[in-house]
Structures are given as structure tokens and as C-alpha cells.
Amino acid sequence: MTETQRKRFAAALGRLADDEDLLIAMGFIVLDDAPAVIRDLETYVAASDLGEVASTAHKLKGLMSTFETDGVVVTIQDLIVSAKVGDQCECERQMAACKPELKKLMSEIRAIVEAGSA
């Protein structure tokens, strides 16, 4: 990992006792699993299946929180709350807000995985 990447994911590394290889290995898994979860989430939001939105968003939050505990994770938490109270409009809004944040975080994770593989 580069120095910039270490700083970016300092909190995550701290939780993993500075084991960069472990973080990278977890990154592999997140990159593999997260896209399908995100697709499912979009589908459930579009279908107004708020029960599934809450549980899928919960799963996505778990995946992402390995790397970040604020930013997109907070937005996902808001989405969970909105789904639980049955607010479809808010769910759609928060899903829309999530997407660019998720894309950004995933690309940062990809970068450290690629750096680790180099």
C-alpha cells in the first residue's frame, strides 16, 4: 500500500493491527461480493420492497464498514432507517446519494488490492 492509502485507511488498518495483507485480502472479498449486493439493493428500492431494502442495506453496511465507518456507511444507515419506517421517497433519495459514494469507495479499495498484488 502507498503512504496515501495507508493514511486513507488508517482506521481500518488500526482495527486489523496494521495487517495490510489482511486488509487487502478482505478487499478482494468486498470487491467480489459488494456489486451483487448493490444490484439487489437497487432492485429492492425500485420495487419498494422495503423489508428487503433494510436487510440488504444492513449487509452492505457490514461489507463497507471494514473500510469506512462514516461517509457512505452513514448514508447506508440512513437508508436502513428510512426503509424500516417505510419511507419509500427517502429510500430512493438515499440510494441515489449512496451510489457515487459507493463507487468512490470501491475504486479506492480496488486501488489497494491492485497495489497489494503488484
Partner 1 sequence: MPFLSRSLPTPLALAVVSSLRPVSSDVREVGLGKWSGVGLAADQLSYSETNVASTVAAETASRRREGSSMPTVLVVDDDRAILLLAEKCLSPIADVVKAETAEAGLAALKKNSFDAVLLDIQLPDRSGLAAYCEIREIDNKLPVIFMTIEAASNTAIEAMQLGAFDYLAKPLAVDPLRDLVEKAIEQRKRTSVPVALSADDDVKKGDSSELFIGRSKAMLQVFKDIGRVSKQDVPILIRGESGTGKELVARALFQYSHRYDAPFLAVNCAALPDNLLESELFGHEKGAFTGAESRRIGKFEQCNGGTLFLDEIGDMAPHVQAKVLRVLQDQRFERVGGNNELTTDVRIVAATNRPLEQMVEDGEYREDLLYRLNGVTIELPPLRERKDDVRLLIQHFLSQAKTQLKKPNLEGLAPETLELLMAYDWPGNVRQLRAVIRRCVLDASMSVIFSDILPREIQRLDGGRSRDQTPAMPMKKVEGTGLPTLVDRLLDEKSTNIYAQSMEYMERYVLVRILQETDGNQSQAAEMLGITRGKLRDRINSYGIILESGVSFK
By CB under 8 A, name the one of 1, 26, 45, 105 that touches partner 1: 26
Cα separation, 82 vs 48, in Å, equals 12
**Contact code string over 73-102 relative to partner 1, x by CB under 8 A:** ------------------------------
**Contact code string over 28-47 relative to partner 1, x by CB under 8 A:** xxxxxx--------------
Residue 25 touches partner 1, criterion: CB under 8 A = yes
Cα separation, 73 vs 12, in Å, equals 13
By CB under 8 A, name the one of 2, 43, 48, 69 that touches partner 1: 69
Cα separation, 17 vs 115, in Å, equals 19
Cα separation, 20 vs 17, in Å, equals 9
CA distances from residue 83 to 37, 57, 72, 102, 115 in whole angstroms, order as listed: 16, 9, 16, 19, 37
Cα separation, 48 vs 118, in Å, equals 43
Query: From the CB of 47, what's the least distance to partner 1, in Å?
Result: 19
By CB under 8 A, name the one of 6, 8, 15, 93 that touches partner 1: 15
Which residues bind to partner 1, rule: CB under 8 A?
Answer: 12, 14-17, 19, 21-22, 25-33, 55, 58-59, 61-63, 65-66, 69, 110, 113-114, 117-118
